[in-house]
Structure 1
């Protein structure tokens, strides 16, 4: 029954992080929709999201990575409940950044002029806040 316990533990951590961010934790429809907005692969079904929330399934690694970036946590913690050391976390962050930047220009090019302007100003604001 170790596998079932791991799935339930994953579900608990997922719900915990969703709640921490103030998001609906018991709506598989919402979770599937929000996840699919961030995921470039085959969209997940509502049933898949339901299985994550109910402790019946754990996402594969590429989906875990997306969930971790979205929820601003390490994929290691989300999957296993363990924290990364600083060196692992730095490598993990670089990996997430590469995934995000690799397709950013393609997505940005598809935006309207107004949307591009909003993104540009958002980036400027974020950079000025870091100073």
Structure 2
């Protein structure tokens, strides 16, 4: 599939997810809501507009935040696969804040040795 076709299909799914959650299809609304949930570099209204106009697809960490916020699976939002609803095993924004989820994304990127060190530190604080 061509890159432009992928962008177009992503844009359509993003709009569908926004509509299903009764949100406006507005780049200003998307950027404000997204930035409230994302602890990384904030996105601009222009970035959100590019997603809606099929000019760009967000990277994986941003897709994860969008999918949690919009209650759709990451896989469906990016590729159109599976159900639109998140399955029971996916993380939910009602359970985890964006900051917690951001921590999990960063933790997941660590090496096994680094993960072990972090887990040992956490266990020390729990004792």
Bin for the TM-score computed over the shorter chain: 0.5 to 0.7
Matching of residue 34 in structure 1 with residue 30 in structure 2:
no
- Higher-helix-fraction structure: 1
User: Which residue in the other structure is 1:12 paired with?
Assistant: 12
User: Which residue in the other structure is 1:55 paired with?
Assistant: 54
CA distance in structure 2 between the aligned counterparts of 1:55 and 1:103, rounded to whole angstroms = 28
Runs of 4+ in 1 over 2 A off after TM superposition: 99-104
CA distance in structure 1 between the aligned counterparts of 2:69 and 2:57, rounded to whole angstroms = 16
Q: Which runs of 5+ in 2 are unaligned?
A: 101-127
**TM-score (structure 2 length as normaliser):** 0.67
CA distance in structure 2 between the aligned counterparts of 1:102 and 1:73, rounded to whole angstroms = 16
How far residue 83 of structure 1 moved from its aligned partner, in angstroms, is 1.0
**TM-score (structure 1 length as normaliser):** 0.66
Q: SS of 2:96's equivalent?
A: helix
- 1:105-129: CA deviation from partner (whole Å, max 9, x where unpaired): xxxxxxxxxxxxxxxxxxxxxxxxx
Q: 1:66-105 to 2 correspondence within 5 Å?
A: 66-83=65-82, 89=87, 91=89, 93-94=90-91, 100=96, 103=99
Q: SS of 2:82's equivalent?
A: coil
Query: Which has the higher relative contact order, 1 or 2, with Cα contacts under 8 A spaced 6 or more apart?
Result: 2
Give the alignment's Cα RMSD to 1 decimal. Answer: 2.4
CA distance in structure 2 between the aligned counterparts of 1:71 and 1:39, rounded to whole angstroms = 14
Q: Which runs of 5+ in 1 are unaligned?
A: 105-131
CA distance in structure 2 between the aligned counterparts of 1:30 and 1:102, rounded to whole angstroms = 17
Count of aligned residue pairs for this structure pair: 97
